[in-house]
Structure 1
């Protein structure tokens, strides 16, 4: 789909409005996951192992995470799409996110840049606050009694960074799928996602929050539960994208074009 057509499609959806049935999306997300549970669980295990390994490697691990995590995470959406269409998705398909390596990584780097920019005012305020003085004194003495004198931060310090960061994190939920399923440029994908989700931002926020709580509780089961809830979350987000962007209409148009040709 061309850039102009995609923008027009997004604007049309925003103008016409849409619904975000949270409970239905979560329920259907688990149902979609159940159709291909074995491969979803195996890939989630591989995904978590790679991400976990990267997190314990200083510096290089962080760098590797920026380049490896986006295409790996995209595998959940690709598999959800194939499972929805055909009832199954082979394990190899989960790694096809690397076919979209460049735009996915550029999207990830751009979001990282936005997050860093949002942190700058917070860092300046912290540097000029009593915390900087306290930290310097604490690191020079390591006196445990100094913990009682920890200055803390005014709530607006944290809100200055946290609230915008939460907004963008939720707003870019669809960015990778615009890249995967509509062939969008990374910035176009981010903007389309932001504009579309902002229409019903709080609905998406609560969808993510509820699924986050479910994943959190599942992690208490020795972490095993995450192997089921994490891919189910990805399936729920995919189904939201599929429904809202009317991918079924795109697929019908492709079939008709094929028949006409």
Structure 2
């Protein structure tokens, strides 16, 4: 859960984001469990591509309902790895425990971002970047979708251009991975999620607090 005083202090204080540190930390998280992360990413690719060929009429619906909890699985894995906990392949699917909130926040942020793109394009780009942490806040802070979106937007806005550059670097890394006969993408893909989680962990600091009475996962 979120300590309101810490949230207010974080959002009203200068924020420093070290891109190099986030990438290095993301790589450390990946190296801790490379086999599980690669296998899970490969599974997601199969699940994502399969419906497009065999269930074409329902592929969009399936993507909207299954994609978010699968993505959440990467962030939950990163959290467990970061805390030094034992990780098993079945842990990859813990995102389905948060199915309703992660699907909800994914749909709402997607709609608002698309509307921003339709409006003037630039607002859509701004929101697409600013909402990057909406899902992690849902998972690790236990906040409802709008609060998670606003926390993400306000936090990232403080370092928007730097964070945008960070995301561009991740995109370039994935492009290189794809160019390496596609095999490199099996590494760059899961690494990307680890790096984004590392950035989230770096920027939130002690915003998230432990509460044993609350099932929400924290740092």
TM over 0.5: yes
2:168 paired residue among 187, 209, 230: 209
Of structures 1 and 2, the larger Rg is shown by 1
Rate the CA distance shift 1:192–1:249 in 2: closer, same or farther, 3 A. Answer: closer
Match of 2:152 among 190, 193, 208: 193
| Displacement after TM superposition at 1:48 (Å) | 1.2
Q: After TM superposition, give the deviation of residue 115 of structure 1 in Å.
A: 3.6
Q: Could you tell me how far 1:120 is from its partner in structure 2? A: 4.7
Instruction: Find runs of 4+ consecutive structure 1 residues off by over 3 angstroms.
Output: 54-57, 118-121
User: Would the aligned equivalents of 1:35 and 1:88 in 2 still touch at CA under 8 Å?
Assistant: no
- Mapped partners of 2:118, 2:207: distance in 1: 43
Which residue number in structure 1 is paired with residue 130 of structure 2? 171
Deviations 1:232-253 (A, max 9, x none): 11111111111221248724x7
Q: Is the 8 A contact 2:134 2:145 kept in 1?
A: yes
Corresponding residue number in structure 1 for 2:101:
103
Count residues in correspondence. 212
Specify which of 212, 225, 247 is matched with residue 184 of structure 2.
225
Instruction: Write out per-residue CA displacement over residues 65-105 of structure 1, whole angstroms, 9 at most, x where no aligned residue.
Output: 11111100011110011011125421111110011111111
Whole-angstrom distance in 2 between the partners of 1:248 and 1:178: 10
The C-alpha deviation readout for 1:25-80, integer Å capped at 9, x for no partner, is 11221111001111001101001111122344434101111111110001111001
Q: Deviations over 1:211-230 (max 9, x none)?
A: 11011110112211111111
SS state at 2:209 partner: helix
**How far apart, CA to CA, are the structure 1 residues paired with 2:155 and 2:92?**
26
SS at match of 1:86: coil
Distance change >3 Å, CA 227–CA 178, structure 1 → 2: same
SS in 1 for 2:16: coil
Residue of structure 1 in register with 2:25 after alignment:
28
How large is the RMSD of aligned CA atoms in angstroms?
2.1
Give the number of the structure whose residues are more often helix, by fraction: 1
CA shift, 1:186, in A, is 1.1
- Taking structure 1 as the reference length, the TM-score comes to 0.75
Aligned twin of 1:180: 139
Segments of 5+ residues of structure 2 without an aligned counterpart are: 213-219
Three-state SS of the structure 2 residue aligned to 1:53 is: helix
TM-score by length of 2: 0.89
